[in-house]
Amino acid sequence: KAGVTQTPRYLIKTRGQQVTLSCSPISGHRSVSWYQQTPGQGLQFLFEYFSETQRNKGNFPGRFSGRQFSNSRSEMNVSTLELGDSALYLCASSLGDREAFFGQGTRLTVV
């Protein structure tokens, strides 16, 4: 069974641009969550989607948004990028209340 797949693995963007990251969950998993990992703040929860609906949201500005498609694949979008958005963005999928499985992440660098 394939694991959680995140694309792209690496991304370099300029301040003010926007970016879209993609996550394909494990087959059959309907919950997809996104996390931001930085050296200073550690791992922080962004949002969770379940059956195309946002179920939980972390404490991030509205520039961070996401969506989930009918096949459970998810995208997150960051608009008007800032230098501080440079981070490893991790996606996790889970089946009901079982443990979360993480992808390898997308490393975003904002210059």
Residues that bind another protein (CB under 8 A): 4, 31, 33, 35, 42-45, 48, 50, 55-56, 58, 90, 92, 94, 97-105
Q: Which is nearer to another protein, 14 or 53 (CB)?
A: 53
User: Do the beta carbons of residue 107 and residue 39 sit within 8 Å?
Assistant: no
Minimum CB separation of residue 56 from another protein in Å reads 5
Would you call 45 helix, strand, or coil by DSSP? strand
Minimum CB separation of residue 48 from another protein in Å reads 4
Our CA dihedral for 13, 25, 65, 11, rounded to 10 degrees, sits at: 0
